[in-house]
Every structure is written in structure tokens, then in C-alpha cells.
Amino acid sequence: MDSQRRKAMRFPLDVPVVFWWIDATGVYQLGEGRSYDVSESGVFVCARACPPAGAQVGLKIPIPEIFDAPRALRMEVAGRVLRVEQVRSGEGRDGFAILSDQAILRENDKSN
């Protein structure tokens, strides 16, 4: 799994992220964090509260407007949590990595 994760080129992207999952008791959970990096195969999200490893997760990631793009975009990602990092020493980052099953680029609208 590590070699698979390392094959994709990662791009640093520090933007707010909204994510959701269904917990072990069947309750819908919603969280917020910041993206750390994004690749074609996954995303690392920095967050205080994380879904557990193995959970199916959905994410919405705004794409910054660059190169005078005519419209604002967002990426919607569905995937499974590969690992959760919770650093106790204050060094590093708390968050989770997902392996994406699906990623869709959509145009932002006022309701999102």
C-alpha cells in the first residue's frame, strides 16, 4: 500500500475542506479541516476530529482561482481513510489520508 500511495505526484494545497462520514453507530458526522496535499489518488486533510481508518469519506475542496479562470471550481472526492495521524508532541500535523475512489471537478454555485 505504501508503494501505491507514493507513486502519485503530490501537490501542496492549503484550503478549507468539508468532509463527512457515517460513524460506527450509523450517525452522519460532519467535519472541517484544511487540505495539506492532493494527488490524483488521494488527499491528506489536517483536522482535529478525524474519521477512523477504513471509513468511507466524502470531501469538498475548493480550487483556488488561478490564471484568471472564468469560474470558481471545487473538487468532490469520495474515498476510504487509509490512516489517521494524531501527533501528541505538538510537532507535525493531525489529520487523515484518504485513497480516492472518485474525484469530480464541479463549478461552484452560491449554495456551496
Phi/psi of residue 108, each to 5°?
A: -70, 150
Number of domains in the chain: 1
The tens-digit pLDDT sequence of the chain (112 residues) is 444 445 778 888 999 999 999 999 999 999 999 999 999 899 999 999 999 999 999 999 998 776 566 678 899 999 999 999 987 666 667 999 999 999 998 887 755 5
- Residue 71 is part of a domain; what is its CATH number? 2.30.110.10
Residue 39 maps to a domain: yes
Residue 68 maps to a domain: yes
Residue 35 maps to a domain: yes
- pLDDT at residue 4 in the model: 47
Residue 50 maps to a domain: yes
Residue 59 maps to a domain: yes
Contact of 85 with 46, CB cutoff 8 Å: no
- pTM, two decimal places: 0.82
Residue 31 maps to a domain: yes
- pLDDT at residue 105 in the model: 87
Q: Residue 18 sits in which domain range?
A: 2-107
Residue 112 maps to a domain: no
Residue 29 maps to a domain: yes
How far apart, in whole angstroms, are the C-alpha atoms of residue 47 and residue 34? 7
